[in-house]
Structures are given as structure tokens and as C-alpha cells.
Amino acid sequence: MPELWGVLNVTPDSFSDGGRFLDPSAAIEHGLRLAEEGAHVLDVGGESSRPAGHTYGRGFEPVSVTEEIGRVVPVIEALSAQPGIRVSVDTVKPEVAVAALQAGATIVNDVQCAADPALARAAAEAGAEYVIMHNRGRGEVRPPNTAYADLVSDVIGELLAAAERAQSAGVPRASVWIDPGLGFAKTARQSAELLSSLGRFRKTGYRILVGPSRKSFIAELAPDPSGARPPAGDRLGGTAAAVAMCVVGGADAVRVHDVAMMRQAAAIAEALWLPRGGAS
């Protein structure tokens, strides 16, 4: 079964849970709850990365280095001090990564596809693992970002080039993860195609993280009977289906908000799939 990475947004404006865990004590309490539910990693982010487009309007609002450090470091210090809890920092700023790694994080989750070599160097110098999420621009879901000659081949090619950049900056190959970046610079149909093509990502030899949780592609592919797109909190059924596809496709980890429910979905998907000769 893939690892479960629990989403912990210490932000006022994340698409699903913005503002709920901005207070450090609330964030720490929620992180501990996610760990109790079975999260292997807590992925802490202090700046929203929601992409611009018809769903989220202008997209995320950048915050200063000082503000982002102030949001994530107290939470990371408290959570990483707990036995058995691994913490990832979701950031694109090298200065934030350095502070987070000093505070106890052991993974850097880069949603800008290794665009800044200084971020990879920060991970390398700390001996941290490094997640490269595929992205273009700021993730806007519109042309030219969504124009691919061959979607799966192009995304894999761009991820492999990013992995080479990370390794040139000092990150060992064994410490690199790749993430197809569902919902970032991809339409709903493109996200679905990537999700059903994880076998091709496995052939790269890199570990794979997939983040389908509550994303807008679920709302677009499965609207309500009225035709309306369900809000983030009402996308759990679609998320569970996507997590099951991650199991079938051989993902090494899934990044989710609802750890207990998705742990159950992953366990059942694995139980149904393995007797048929699926990947372990």
C-alpha cells in the first residue's frame, strides 16, 4: 500500500481548508490527528499553491519569506519532535526550506518542478528527500500551459529534466521523488489521463507521489446531478476513486487531506488488486 502523506496547510487561502489551521496550536493538533489516523508523512505548507483559472480565479497570493517561515517553523518543530513522525515542507523558497529543515523537516516538496537550483541545494545540504512536482508557469490551467504535444510523454520528459537539475544541485538520485502534478497546468481530462498512466511514470525508476485529494478535476469530471461542481469538502468519493487508481498504478505515496478514509480506500483497493497480479 502506498504511504499516506497528510496535507497540513498553515495558510489562510488554500483551496480546501484555508484558514482552519493558520493558528499554530490548531495546526499541531490537526497534524497529530492525521498521524494517529495513519499518515506516514505530514506535509506542511505556509503558502497556497492553488493555480489560477476558472475554478480559483487569480490563484494563490504570494507571501514573504518571513511570513512563510513564521507560519511553518513552529508547527514543524512541534510535530517533528514526536516519535515516528516525518515532516515534509511544501515550499518553493530556499530560505523557507533551510529554516524548515533546521526545524526538523526531512523532505522538501517543490511544486515548481525544480525551477530554482537553490531549493534543491538546500535539500541536498540537509540530506533531505526532494519531491519534484510537474508544473508550468504558476500552474494556470489555460494555454499555453495546457498545450502538450503528447501529454504523458511531455510530462515525464519535463520531470526527468527537472530530476537531472536536482541531481546536478547535489540531491542523490535515490532521494528524488516525482509527482505528475494533477490539476496544475492540466485540464481535468489531462489530470485523469495522467492518473491512469502511472505505470509509465514507474518505469522512470523514481519514487512517485500523487496528490489527487479534493482537487477541482474531480468536481469537473463528476458534477452534481444539477450540473454544479461540488465544493472541495464534497469530493471525497472522487478522491477515494483516484487513490484506488494510485494503488493500481503503483504509486509510492498519495498526498491526502482525509487520511483515515483514504487509508481505508487504499487498503481495499490493494486487497482487490493484488489477487489479480497487481504491483505490490
- Asked if residue 256 has pLDDT above 50, the reply is yes
What is the reported pLDDT for 17? 47
Lowest mean pLDDT among 119-123, 192-196, 232-236, 259-263: 232-236
The model scores a pTM over 0.75 = yes
- Gyration radius of the chain over CA positions: 17
Confidence of residue 18 (pLDDT cuts 50, 70, 90): very low
pLDDT > 90: percent of the chain = 84
Q: What is the distance in angstroms between the CA of the first residue and the CA of the last residue of the chain?
A: 7
What is the reported pLDDT for 60? 59
Residue of 50, 71, 138, 255 marked catalytic: 255
User: Can you give the residue range of the structural domain that contains 219?
Assistant: 3-276
What is the reported pLDDT for 164? 98
pLDDT > 70: percent of the chain = 90
255 is known as an active-site residue: yes
Tens-place pLDDT, residues 36-94: 999 999 999 999 776 655 554 454 577 899 999 999 999 999 999 999 999 999 999 99
203 is known as an active-site residue: no
- Asked if residue 276 has pLDDT above 80, the reply is no
Tens-place pLDDT, residues 200-222: 999 999 999 999 999 999 999 99
Mean residue pLDDT across the chain: 92
- Asked if residue 161 has pLDDT above 80, the reply is yes
**What is the CATH classification number for the domain harbouring 106?**
3.20.20.20
Count the domains in the chain.
Answer: 1
Residue of 93, 214, 215, 263 marked catalytic: 215
What is the reported pLDDT for 188? 97
